Amino acid sequence: MRVIDRSATVCWILLALSLGLSDARAGTTYTYVDLVHRMIDMEHLAVLPADGESCRQWSSFDRASQYDAKSDKYIHWGANGDGGQFIRSEGDAVVMAEMKGPGCIWRIWSALAKQGHVKIYLDGSDKPAVDLPFEQYFTGKTEPFAYPALSYQLADVGSRGHNLYVPIPFQKSCKVIAEKGWGAYYQFVYSTFPEGTKVPTFQWPLASESKAALAKVNHFFQSELGTDPAGKRNGLITQSDTIVIPAGGFETLELEGPCAITGIRGSVDTAGRDDEIEALRQLVLSIRFDGHEKPAVWSPLGDFFGTAPGKNLYRSLATGMTKDGFYAYWYMPFQQNAVIRLQNDGNKDRSISFELDVAPLARPLKGLGHFHAKWHRDLLPVREDRRPDWTILKTSGRGRFCGVMLDVWNPRGGWWGEGDEKFFVDGEKFPSTIGTGSEDYFGYAWCHPGLFQYAYHCQTMTQGNRGHQSVLRWHITDNIPFHTSFEASIEKYFGNDRGTQYSCLTCFYLDPDHDDPILPTSMDQRLGYYIKPPPGGAGFRVLGDPSGTVQEQGMAGYGTAKWKNNNQLWWTGAKPGDQLDILLEVKKAGTYEVVVKLTKAIDYGIVQMAIDHKNAGEPIDLFNRGVIPSGPISLGRHELAAGKHTLTVKIIGANDNAVKAYMFGLDEIVLKPE
């Protein structure tokens, strides 16, 4: 081992406590500008949470998912009718969310915001602080949310995801009510502060200084991502070098404290895309803080910078990859030392250029956590009644969960993101955050494969949902404080036996007395696991190359034994006029009644079926507000010769009340001889 030690002089006297890192204790007072500053304050994430701090989510998740305390069992845990759920009705309106203060809404999301008004009532007032058509929360042009980098739809990439990141604080209470025609699917993410904290009640119109603060953040998100949001820090030292790490070797750099790593930038020389993908998984970055034997940071180098596989250009607040190189602006404080190790597990020497920003601590390490970033695959199994949950992180101690980059290998194609995120805080049996779908958690909708990049969430790489997808969500304002333990999971409907594989980088802070349980992963588990399975699915053979995506979908989450073998052939991404041809084999010539069993749901279409290109039966409307089997549907009696025939499904429209996604699901084809 060769030790590179350029840090003998990197040791500073502690500076006074800065206002930007003031933690939320009882009696703390925040202005609206203080709350807006949180949107770009990476240092605050390192402050360990005070008693009474929390972050939760109200959403339209399917309330059939329940925990039964008497039996200690999770019931209908994969229920997925997430579009129109709410707390209760009040006349013709519905209550979406109710919150006790002091607190602040940080994030509002919807997949299908429409013209029905959504009203936000604060601190017991009978006059709403915000009263707008839900769609106008997300235009980037409508006051008080007229900031296009904070209020936006993803329509430019074809997705229906709607996002709002304008703080809405309240002192005592918050109630959100939606009127008829508001749309479908929603999430409200909010923090609560310790009792006695003073926050301003959101008022419209905003004060001039509040608007100026939001405009400054909006400008940073539009024009300055890729730079340190803290600007030039007092006492900052930047160390840079280019090193060659031999195959099988490593290099280390030790920094003396007390100080903080505030930025890491770098690049790797590679020869083409395949070599780049290999190199960025073969190279591993690890960092140990303050004498801990286990690294707090352990990740393949590329994944650490927020995307995989390989180099995919994007910019977010915390991480990014640009033509000039990679960057990460996580704040990493330590008291005694930090040992940074870069290891090359490949069979080629690698030339790496790097820059490391190190700055004095803005406050004593006591009260701060160590930064953790861990990469893994299939970390921990879950108990049987919690399937289809897939574990992102499970740890103990005090800290903050700050987000995840998820690399999805989806070889059969189609919609991979059915499953909800679930965050269990401090031993909760039922999660205080439960979502409406994996892609919803990442800020878009219906797994649209368009690339997008925003400060807090991105889809940085896609192969049309057939192959690799890389998505991230950084929790900056909406980080999840925990005091004794934390578990994050996301539902993974497609098992490894189908070929669908997940890997993730999870980022969080943890008090210095605790190590996280995630262990390093060998190189054979980092490369080569993404292998395409043979074609087919759900027992059907598709003919030709239809529009959209055809795949097998597991249906156990909608109720076991309702679908044959608990799966179906699922056709998504089609439009009216598109056709799907399915092989229909007849063993013996004769007259048969052809019966199909299909699926109905809110986003399914109207189809006309045909046998050997002649219409069979009447058009079938597959709309239903929940996901249910259709039951047997007769396509009539047909003279069929022995051999191969074609069953054709043609999309001809959708119910007026349906979400216009035109999906189709086939459970079974039954031939009944006369």
CA distances from 330 to 24, 279, 293, 630 (A): 20, 23, 21, 50
- Structure confidence by residue, pLDDT tens digits, 80-121: 888 889 999 999 999 999 999 999 999 999 999 999 999 999
Strand partners, 255: 338
Spatial CA neighbour of 579 closest among 616, 552, 542, 551: 542
pLDDT tens digits, 456-504: 999 999 998 888 999 999 999 999 999 999 999 999 988 777 788 999 9
β 370-376/297-300 pair status: parallel
Q: What is the mean pLDDT of the chain?
A: 92
DSSP per-residue codes, 135-147: GGGGSSSSTT---
* Distance in angstroms between the alpha carbons of the first and the last residue of the chain: 80
At 206 the pLDDT is 95
Residue 378 φ/ψ, nearest 5 degrees: 50, 60
Residue 519 makes CB contacts below 8 A (sequence gap 6+) with: none
| pLDDT at residue 8 in the model | 31
Minimum mean pLDDT among 262-271, 341-350, 458-467, 527-536: which range?
527-536
pLDDT (0 to 100) of residue 23: 59
Q: Quick one: which H or E segment has residue 526? A: helix 523-526
Q: Which residue is associated with the tokens 């097998």?
A: 552
CA–CA dist 240, 237 (Å, integer):
10
**DSSP 8-state assignment for residue 216:** H
> What b-and-e string marks burial along 137-155, b requiring 16 or more CB atoms within 10 Å of the CB?
bbbbeeebbbbebbbbbbe
Q: Do 130 and 120 meet the contact criterion of CB atoms below 8 Å apart? A: yes
CA 569, 572, 576, 581 dihedral sign is negative
Place of tokens 């890389």: 470
CA distances in angstroms from 129 to 158, 206, 215, listed in the order given = 32, 11, 20
For residues 553-572, give the mean pLDDT. Answer: 83
Q: Could you give the CA distance from residue 131 to residue 112 in angstroms, rounded to a whole number?
A: 18
Report the C-alpha gap between 338 and 320 in whole angstroms: 23
Q: Tokens at residue 141, please?
A: 């042009």
Q: How far apart are CA 23 and CA 398, in angstroms?
A: 14
Give Cβ neighbours of residue 672 (< 8 Å, ≥ 6 apart): 592, 593, 594, 595
Mean pLDDT of 119-130: 97
Could you give the 3-state DSSP secondary structure of residue 558?
helix
For the stretch 236-269, pLDDT in tens is 999 999 999 999 999 999 999 899 999 999 999 9
Those residues with Cβ within 8 angstroms of residue 339's Cβ, 6 or more apart along the chain or in another chain: 252, 253, 254, 287, 288
Res. 284: pLDDT tops 80:
yes
Taking the C-alpha atoms of residue 313 and residue 302, their distance in angstroms, rounded to an integer, is: 12
Give one DSSP letter per residue of 278-344, joined into a string: HHHHHEEEEEEETT-SS-SEEEEHHHHTT--SS---EE-SSEEEETTEEEE---EEESSEEEEEEEE
396 has a pLDDT exceeding 90: yes
- pLDDT tier, 4 (very low <50, low <70, confident <90, very high otherwise): very low
User: Looking at per-residue confidence, does 125 or 528 come out higher?
Assistant: 125
Mean pLDDT of 149-170: 93
Domains and CATH numbers, the chain: 19-231+368-519 (2.60.120.1390), 234-356 (2.60.120.1390), 542-673 (2.60.120.260)
pLDDT band at 386 (very low <50, low <70, confident <90, very high): very high
